[in-house]
């Protein structure tokens, strides 16, 4: 078994959809980024790649590469999953936390778990998505951005 930790943060900006865990959430602001800005999925990708000692999201999907402009982060997650498979690993379980003041994430957590699980081929019961605030402290508390943390346990492919 291997364990990896991922973290990502993006600023909130007008004119973009808010996508987290592959789910579009109604909000007046969205996350800036070369792809869809999905910090939750990016943190999961980094956790997976780190656990397998395969580098990080920027190594495999550089933000300066135009082919990733506007791409769904679930597409990147599927590609990272394929890299793990080639290396002899699969996701055993995932625990992630979104850090955001607004909007409330609880109504969307199950859909995020389902989207991530479907992409990874992992039962939703092995995926946890939680959310917290910073009690209005820092850039998250001021509503300037959203962050996410993820921990992934990998198992060898039988």
In this predicted model, what pLDDT tens digit does every residue of 72-109 receive, in sequence order? 999 999 999 999 999 999 999 999 999 999 999 999 99
Residue range(s) defining the domain that contains residue 44: 2-156
For the chain, the domain total comes to 1
> How many alpha carbons fall within 13 Å on the CB side of residue 117?
16
Spatial separation of the C-alpha atoms in residues 149 and 39, rounded to whole Å: 9
| 3-state SS, residue 18 | strand
Spatial separation of the C-alpha atoms in residues 20 and 148, rounded to whole Å: 9
The pLDDT, as a whole number, for residue 77 is 98
The dihedral over CA atoms of 121, 56, 44, 91, expressed in degrees to the nearest 10, equals 40
CATH number of the domain where residue 110 is located? 3.30.1330.50
Residue range 4-19, pLDDT digits in tens: 999 999 999 999 999 9
Residue range 133-158, pLDDT digits in tens: 999 999 999 999 999 999 999 999 98
| 3-state SS, residue 112 | helix
pTM for the model: 0.97
The pLDDT, as a whole number, for residue 158 is 85
Is residue 126 over pLDDT 90? yes
């Amino acid at each position: 078994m291997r364990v990896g930790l991922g973290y990502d943060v993006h600023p909130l900006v007008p004119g973009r959809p808010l996508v987290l865990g592959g789910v579009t959430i109604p909000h007046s602001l969205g996350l800036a980024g070369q792809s869809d800005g999905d910090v939750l999925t990016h943190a999961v990708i980094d956790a997976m790649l780190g656990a397998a000692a395969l580098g990080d999201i920027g190594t495999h999907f550089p933000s300066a590469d135009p082919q990733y402009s506007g791409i769904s982060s679930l597409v990147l997650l599927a590609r990272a999953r394929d890299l793990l498979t080639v290396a002899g690993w699969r996701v055993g379980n995932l625990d992630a936390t979104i850090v955001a003041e607004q909007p409330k994430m609880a109504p969307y957590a199950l859909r995020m778990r389902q989207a991530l699980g479907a992409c990874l081929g992992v039962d939703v019961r092995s995926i946890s998505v939680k959310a917290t605030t910073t009690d209005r402290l820092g850039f998250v508390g001021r509503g300037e951005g959203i962050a996410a943390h993820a921990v992934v346990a990998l198992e060898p492919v039988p």
